[in-house]
A and B are shown apart, each in its own frame.
Chain A
Amino acid sequence: MLKERKCGVAVIGGGPAGLAAAISAHEVGCRDVVLIERDRLLGGILNQCIHDGFGLHRFGEAMTGPEYAQRDIDRFNELGIEAMTESMVMELKEDRTLLVSRRGEMIRLRADAVVLAMGCRERPRGALSIPGTRPSGIYTAGAAQNFVNLSNLMPGKKVCILGSGDIGLIMARRMTLEGAEVKAVFELLPYSSGLPRNIQQCLNDYGISLYLSTTVTGIVGEDRLEAVQVSKVDERRRPIPGTEQTFECDTLLLSVGLIPENELTRMAGIAIDPVTNGAVVDDDFMTSVPGIFSCGNVLHVHDLVDWVSLEAAEAGKRAAAWAKGDREGAAGIAVRHGNGVRYTMPARVSGGKDVSIAFRVGAPDRNRYLVVTADGREIVRQKRIRLHPAVMEHLTVKAADLKGCSALEVSVQ
């Protein structure tokens, strides 16, 4: 009953990362790419992102999420790549065998190379230990976005938002446009974790207050949410007694972080970076398990889809090369994160080619230099007027500078 199948490159996930990876794998010559998507439509989370601002870097124009996705979907279809939709990968093994469940059948798919492109999910309330009851009306911002934009359902009328991540900011504007009263956005940190342009366009333009160093410390209501209690927090993020304030609302949206969805990655025994919660990869985007590649938000959470697509296209190309048997030697140069840098991606490079290193800084800053050293020797130095943890940084390192070196370090000076 279990159907057996083989393919060259299996791409898990049909969002922007999966689409770009599948397209580039095909374009470099792999003719048996299979993309597996659990939803009915390709495009992933972009389908519910009906606001604009996508594609500025990649296409030089502002598009909505569905418009951005459609460009890749059109190309994907034009190339005749196979998509298994409404199909969920239940298991991934180290030997690149996938167990796929779909309507009416279960398939064991053996792939020469696998691209992980499962994206990320939102951190739920449970991880926050918010005291109080568990009434209805508490949703992650992305779930609310899905209800409003895809199902025409209004989650509530009087809204508070915890967390100033981009989805929370976008939903503050979206709920306002649909006639809800957005009372406030609360952020635990002393700065917003969303993009500066979203603070302006989604909060300031609509007169919505952002309370920094503030968190929800109480949930009121046994049936539907009735109110939230918020408190200021100290520099160690602990609520300060006596600063409690109550906001009446029927809805609390949570935008408190995204978690790469690495269940399958762990199942395959792939090494995970504790900072990104994504796989540890080399400059070919290959994980610790040979032949399994990772890209997009499942690798590390991005702020712009443009970077997801570019990164995934590269990963797809490398996966196709691997499937064809074109395998380079191990990437031996470690990339370390130094002062002010939270992580780097990739974590190791081969040294045989130019490499773009993506990373995030630990705290907002101004007028600093981003520096890369090779065994202590400075090889890249670039000035930044503003640095922000919400903005992913990229630096390119030339192959010539990597000759004979054993470790790179990226830091803020």
Chain B
Amino acid sequence: MSTAYDIAIVGGGVVGCAIARELSKFTCRVCLLERELDVSLGTSCRNSGVLHSGINYKPGTLRARLAVRGNAMMDELCRDLKVKIKRIGKLTVALEKDDMPGLERIYEQGKANGAPGLEIIGPERMRSIQPDVEGIAALWSPSSSIISPYGLTIALAENAKANGVDLRLGWGVTGVEVLPEGRGFAVKNARGETVTAKLLINVAGLFAAAICEMAGIHDYHIYPCRGEYYVLDKRLDGSLRTLIYPTPNPKNPGLGIHLTPTVDGNILIGPSADYQDSPTWTGNCAPTMAQLREEGLKLLPDIRISDYIRNFAGLRAKQTPPEVGGNADFVVEDRADVPGFINVLGIESPGLTSSPAIAEMVRDMVKAHLPLLPDPSFNGVRPGSDLLFSERSPEERAAMIADDPDYGEMICRCESVSKREVLDALNNPLGAKTFVSLKYRSRVSMGRCQGGFCIPRIARLLYEEFGWKWEDFVDHSEGSRMFAGKVLNGGEH
């Protein structure tokens, strides 16, 4: 791999990968630097997975404009990249008369922002969408959707790589040297490696302010704000046919704890909102977990203890400190003071929705510095299918098994993941080899037994058929080894 680029992108979250894929349409030399061992291991894998319609943002802001534009781009993008998207729409519900002015306000705001298909509907229509929903009226926003956030990020990264972007995983930026006379940047990591680039695009999420500091920009501070979730068993799949949110209440800003179905058939309870200092701690706290369970039960009384299959938490990269609260607008800027430094910062919600629109905006900023020539060999279509093997009919599965016997062998029981899908995940185009990389690509261990059954089988597969050693198995990071060694006198591997 070369070390001299036209453009270096710092950060392999959904926005960084969307920018990489957008720039891969042109002949410029691009690298993406990601500190973790895979893309999408930060905020991009730890959120609700909702594409927003754009009704909740102040007209004229980047959040409003980019969310509406990004949402509109998703159908084509997901079709090309083989990413599952479900346009299930959203009901913003007014429970009582007092909620009506708030509902009218977001309806007008949504119209002003250009969100498509908005309607205020009555109880009858509401119940035709979700039979048990309560309330006197609701704003129906049909473009609100669900998507796998890591699925989209991985697909963007793979397509970017297929079109020539150098993806450097495990490449944590520790220094940015601004080269004299506008010659660009020398970017360094802790191993002493350097890449140079004419332009540097900072999409480092929770670390974006730290990257700014390295380049001598002292304008920003990121306040990590943790959102915790419960993941519910697929037993409850189908309980929610749409997204249901309460009407925003000025006394209680934020969207509040709610239920979100995922594209894979789980339901999420969350997110909470708690500020913290650490940009990496994504644990769960007992009081918040209790609160999530309580709120979840209010919204879906059928939840049983055995339906809680996992917890997770994600960190919002907020610019507003705890004492201020609320949200600041996205920062997408071409820094005049540090020529060639393009800053994409403070991308909290609706960052996932906005990602392809931010990428267009950044592309246009890049054009001011570099001539962007379309690459005739660009292929925006990612091979494969958005359907999992288990989602196909018995006849289709039988035909695929006959064609490729590995489809017949089941590795993960709960999610019905075949050996073929595990092998495909293992041979992923990005070369990511963590256990989480396998999980996000194939859904192994994401079901109700949480890997009790399949993790030993996958371990056996990897050392028997791929010659892995005990030290090769990591969960998600260099330090997260899954094993501590071999059993004494226990044979080779």
Contact B289 A102 (CB under 8 A): no
Residues of A within 8 Å of B311, CB to CB, are 126, 129, 134
Contact B470 A153 (CB under 8 A): yes
Q: Which of A218-226, A358-366, A368-376 contacts B (4 or more CB under 8 A)?
A: A218-226
Task: Give Cα A157–Cα B483 distance, bound, in whole angstroms.
Answer: 9
Residues of A within 8 Å of B482, CB to CB, are 136-137, 155
Contact B410 A147 (CB under 8 A): no
Closest chain-B Cβ to A373's Cβ sits at a distance in Å of 32
Contact B310 A126 (CB under 8 A): yes
CB < 8 Å neighbour of B449 from A2, A122, A223: A122
Closest chain-B Cβ to A98's Cβ sits at a distance in Å of 11
Judge whether B452 is part of the interface by a CB distance below 8 angstroms: yes
Judge whether B280 is part of the interface by a CB distance below 8 angstroms: yes
What range describes how many residues of A lie at the interface? 35 or more
Judge whether A217 is part of the interface by a CB distance below 8 angstroms: yes
CB < 8 Å neighbour of A1 from B284, B395, B476: B395
CB < 8 Å neighbour of B306 from A3, A155, A259: A259
Residues of A within 8 Å of B480, CB to CB, are 135-136, 223-224
With known contacts A105-B401, A131-B285, A90–B305 Cβ distance under 8 A: no
Residues of B within 8 Å of A125, CB to CB, are 310, 450
CB < 8 Å neighbour of A38 from B413, B477, B478, B488: B413
Judge whether A86 is part of the interface by a CB distance below 8 angstroms: yes
Judge whether A81 is part of the interface by a CB distance below 8 angstroms: no
Task: Give Cα A133–Cα B226 distance, bound, in whole angstroms.
Answer: 13
Residues of B within 8 Å of A251, CB to CB, are 484
Residues of B within 8 Å of A263, CB to CB, are 414
Contact A104 B405 (CB under 8 A): yes
Contact B309 A126 (CB under 8 A): yes
With known contacts A129-B311, A222-B281, A224-B481, A86–B409 Cβ distance under 8 A: yes
Residues of B within 8 Å of A222, CB to CB, are 280-282, 477
Judge whether A106 is part of the interface by a CB distance below 8 angstroms: yes
Closest chain-A Cβ to B275's Cβ sits at a distance in Å of 18
Task: Give Cα A87–Cα B111 distance, bound, in whole angstroms.
Answer: 55
Closest chain-B Cβ to A178's Cβ sits at a distance in Å of 6
Contact B450 A126 (CB under 8 A): yes
Classify the interface of chain A: helix, strand, loop or mixed.
Answer: mixed
CB < 8 Å neighbour of A224 from B310, B435, B479, B493: B479
Judge whether A400 is part of the interface by a CB distance below 8 angstroms: no
Residues of A within 8 Å of B414, CB to CB, are 263
Task: Give Cα A147–Cα B410 distance, bound, in whole angstroms.
Answer: 19
Judge whether A28 is part of the interface by a CB distance below 8 angstroms: no
Contact A38 B410 (CB under 8 A): yes
CB < 8 Å neighbour of B308 from A99, A126, A142: A126
Q: Which of B116-124, B167-175, B351-359, B456-464 contacts A (4 or more CB under 8 A)?
A: B456-464
Task: Give Cα A179–Cα B484 distance, bound, in whole angstroms.
Answer: 12
Task: Give Cα A218–Cα B398 distance, bound, in whole angstroms.
Answer: 46
Task: Give Cα A178–Cα B311 distance, bound, in whole angstroms.
Answer: 32
With known contacts A102-B409, A131-B289, A134-B312, A152–B401 Cβ distance under 8 A: no
* B12-34 Cβ-contact flags toward A at 8 Å (1 or 0): 00000000000000000000000
Task: Give Cα A223–Cα B418 distance, bound, in whole angstroms.
Answer: 28
Judge whether B383 is part of the interface by a CB distance below 8 angstroms: no
Judge whether A124 is part of the interface by a CB distance below 8 angstroms: yes
Name B283's closest neighbour in chain A (CB-CB): A133
Closest chain-A Cβ to B269's Cβ sits at a distance in Å of 12
* A122-161 Cβ-contact flags toward B at 8 Å (1 or 0): 1011110101111111011011001110111111110000
Contact B394 A99 (CB under 8 A): yes
Judge whether A101 is part of the interface by a CB distance below 8 angstroms: yes
Closest chain-B Cβ to A35's Cβ sits at a distance in Å of 17
List A residues 176-191 near B (Cβ within 8 Å): 178-179
Task: Give Cα A166–Cα B14 distance, bound, in whole angstroms.
Answer: 45
Closest chain-B Cβ to A238's Cβ sits at a distance in Å of 10
Contact B475 A127 (CB under 8 A): no
Residues of B within 8 Å of A152, CB to CB, are 486-487, 490-491, 493
Judge whether A121 is part of the interface by a CB distance below 8 angstroms: yes
With known contacts A101-B401, A250-B484, A136–B306 Cβ distance under 8 A: no
Task: Give Cα A127–Cα B418 distance, bound, in whole angstroms.
Answer: 25
Residues of B within 8 Å of A133, CB to CB, are 281-283
* B267-290 Cβ-contact flags toward A at 8 Å (1 or 0): 000000000000011111110010
Residues of A within 8 Å of B289, CB to CB, are 129, 131
Contact A131 B284 (CB under 8 A): yes
Contact A127 B309 (CB under 8 A): yes
Contact B455 A223 (CB under 8 A): no
Please list 15 pairs of residues, one from A and one from B, whose beta carbons are closer than 8 Å in the complex, sorted by A's number. Answer: A1-B398, A104-B405, A121-B452, A129-B293, A131-B284, A131-B289, A134-B311, A136-B482, A139-B452, A142-B452, A143-B452, A147-B456, A151-B460, A154-B470, A217-B286
Nearest 5 CB-CB pairings of A with B: A152-B490, A223-B479, A136-B475, A104-B405, A124-B450
Q: What is B's interface to A at a CB cutoff of 8 Å?
A: 231, 280-286, 289, 293, 305-306, 308-312, 394-395, 397-399, 401-402, 405-406, 408-410, 413-414, 416, 418, 435, 448-453, 455-456, 459-460, 463, 470, 474-488, 490-491, 493
Q: What is A's interface to B at a CB cutoff of 8 Å?
A: 1-3, 38, 86, 88, 90-91, 99, 101-106, 108, 121-122, 124-127, 129, 131-137, 139-140, 142-143, 146-148, 150-157, 178-179, 217, 219, 222-224, 239, 250-251, 259, 263
